[in-house]
Structure 1
Amino acid sequence: MRVTVLGTGTMGAGVAGSLLREGHEVTVWNRSADKAAPLGDRGATVAEDPGGAVTSAEVVLLTLFDTDAVVDVLEAAAGDAPEDAVWVQCSTIGVAGTETVVQLAAKYGITLVEAMMLGTKAPAEHGTLTMLAAGPAAELDRIDPVLDAVGAKTIRAGEQVGAGTALKLAANAWIASITAATGQSLAVATALGLDPALFLQAIEGSASDSAYAHTKGAAMIDGRFPAQFALDGLRKDIGLITDAARDTGVSTVLLDALGRVYADASAAGHGGDDIAAVGTAF
């Protein structure tokens, strides 16, 4: 399929690479052109502007950082895409942001679905993301080849755009919690005079075990945090989750605490590091 990826940051670049590997005809654009250029060496067409990127697209993926970026890019490109193109909102922008984009799509007569990406840099590069999709079934059927190229599985959360976002917020609340909890347990073990690796050995194979705890825990013990999922990106998501919880009457006690501990790690200079750097806050 002819697929355009608007936004080639950590996730967008990985997704574009997976699409190329699976034989799709890929066009890419990024506000910072240097981040899109390497994909040109791999066979993608590198566009100079969003409008030029979508002129022949069958599927347009929006893989951007926040609501403002999605709105700016969508407005810049909306009039240049074929009328039958399916636009896929993949950016984590929360409930209010998603509502804004849905309204904007209606204004421009755009066919919009969403496919949230559950995973980090490596799964994006390897095509093993979990895709959390939502929208009319017929439109999701049309983009199945794209979702299959970038994900190991797709979960259809509902036929209304916003259901995928809701599921992504719930999933990222879990990721934020388990990563911070891993850092806390390692810090407690260390403070009590133990080798922190003993904590990971203790939970291994038990009902409380988690592959994520081992992955992030190993980075915490090593003290090196090459970014798979940037800490400030998760901080942004925690804010979106907190807003959604507050608006629907869910207690934000744990979310507020998570917000503080990730903010502490960011303030110490780890905002661009992997989320495992939250362990430094303890």
Structure 2
Amino acid sequence: MKIAVLGTGIMGQGVVRTLLREGHDVTAWNRTRDKAEPLADDGATVVDTAREAVAGAEVVVTVLFDGEAVLSVLRDATGAADATSASGQATATSASGQATSGPVWVQASTIGAADTARVVGLAAERGVPLVEAMMLGTKKPAETGKLVMLAAGDPELLARVQPVLDAMGAKTITAGDTVGQGTALKLAANAWIASVTAATAQSLALTSALGLDPQLFLDAIEGGQADTPYAHLKGASMIAGEYPAQFALDGLRKDVSLMREAATAAVAADGTGTGFDTSLLEALAGLYGKASERGHGGDDIAAVRTAFTG
């Protein structure tokens, strides 16, 4: 398939290389072209504008940092609002009312519930067929096609992009037929990632503070019911004090903020004064914020270990 990938940061670069390896024709764009240029050596076509990237594509995948970036790129690539699709074709709709002509846009950026709603609105205004496929995983899974794709949207459109999702991920979980449900599942999944990473850091720091070798903590949980390979992966980085970015700490910090916003909105919508307690999310926001303030925002999320020091 002919695919445009918009955004070539850590995850975007991995996605492009995976799609190329699977035999797809990929055009890559990044606002800073230097970040996309190395992909030309792998076989991607690198262009200067998002509009150029989208032209002629069957599928467009957005791998951008936040909602404003997604909205800006969608506006730039589709031009003035009218009754045509991004490819200039007349817009048709599916039984569910979704636009079906032109390239299908796969929104893969973690942008939260509120901005997802804004993107859905803009896509409808521009006649852009839209689904979402959140990427659960970090740099290595993106590079090896082992992500878990959390998809949502019109079933007809999801069927059209399934070959792309299959190339990007080891499996696809469909959260529902409404764009936004994939985002909700991604926020819940990333809450787990934020929690288990911080918990690993806390236990290693506590082991050290009590005068023991922190490796003993990992040895103690290994093979037991409380064990997880993730603790050993991130724990090794924490013990070494080396944090090459697989998932940038400031990226997860942004996601925690989106979780808090979504949870607060859910409580307000509940109307009973109960609903959801954000205490743990508040604590996570503080820990990742402290690590970022100490200069680790661009490092891997394992650098949350530094929040427990001093």
Please give the TM-score of this superposition, normalised by the length of structure 2: 0.90
1:133 aligns with 2:159: no
The 3-state SS of whatever aligns with 2:57 is: coil
Q: CA deviation at 1:41?
A: 1.1
For residues 87 and 247 of structure 2, the distance between their equivalents in structure 1, rounded to whole angstroms, comes to 31
Distance 1:260 1:59 in 2: 39
Residue in 2 that maps onto 1:81? 87
Instruction: Determine whether 1:274 maps to 2:300.
Output: yes
What are the Cα deviations for residues 140-186 of structure 1, in whole angstroms up to 9, with x where unaligned? Answer: 11111101111011000000000100000000000000000000000
Unmatched tracts of structure 1, length 5 or more: none
Alignment-derived partner of residue 33 in structure 1:
33
Q: Distance in 1 between matches of 2:21 and 2:154?
A: 28
CA–CA distance in 2 between the matches of 1:135 and 1:211? 32
Displacement of 1:35: 0.7
Q: CA RMSD in A?
A: 0.8
Secondary structure at the aligned position of 1:104 is classed as helix
How far does residue 84 in structure 1 lie from its aligned partner after superposition? Answer: 2.2
Quote the residue 1:12 is aligned against: 12
| Runs of 4+ deviating beyond 2 Å | 79-84
Conservation of the 8 A alpha-carbon contact between 1:30 and 1:36 = yes
Percent sequence identity is 63
In structure 2, give the amino acid aligned to 1:72. Answer: S
AA at the equivalent of 2:110:
T
Aligned to 1:252: 278
The separation in 2 between residues aligned to 1:275 and 1:72, in whole angstroms, is: 27
* Counterpart AA for 2:19: L
Q: How many residue pairs are counted as aligned between the two chains?
A: 282
* TM-fit CA distance, 1:137: 1.1
Q: Residue 104 of structure 1 aligns with which residue?
A: 122
> Contact between 1:51 and 1:81, CA under 8 Å: does it hold in 2?
no
2:221 to 178, 203, 212: 203
- Distance in 1 (alpha carbons) for counterparts of 2:10 and 2:198: 22
Which amino acid is 1:275 matched to? Answer: I
| Residue matched to 1:263 | 289
- SS of the residue aligned with 1:36? helix
Instruction: Tell me, in whole angstroms, the C-alpha distance in 1 between the residues paired with 2:124 and 2:25.
Output: 27
Corresponding residue of 1:217: 235
Give, in angstroms, the shift of residue 246 of structure 1. Answer: 1.3
Highest CA radius of gyration, 1 or 2? 2
- Give the 3-state SS of the residue equivalent to 1:131 in structure 2: strand
AA at the equivalent of 1:99:
A
TM-score relative to the length of structure 1: 0.99
Provide the C-alpha distance between the structure 2 equivalents of 1:25 and 1:56, rounded to a whole number of angstroms. Answer: 11
Shift in Å, 1:247? 1.4
Partner of 1:71: 71
The Cα of 1:129 is off from its aligned counterpart by 0.4
- Give the aligned residue type for 2:148: T
In the alignment, structure 1 residue 59 sits paired with structure 2 residue 77 = no
For 2:120 and 2:224, the matched residues in 1 are separated by 43
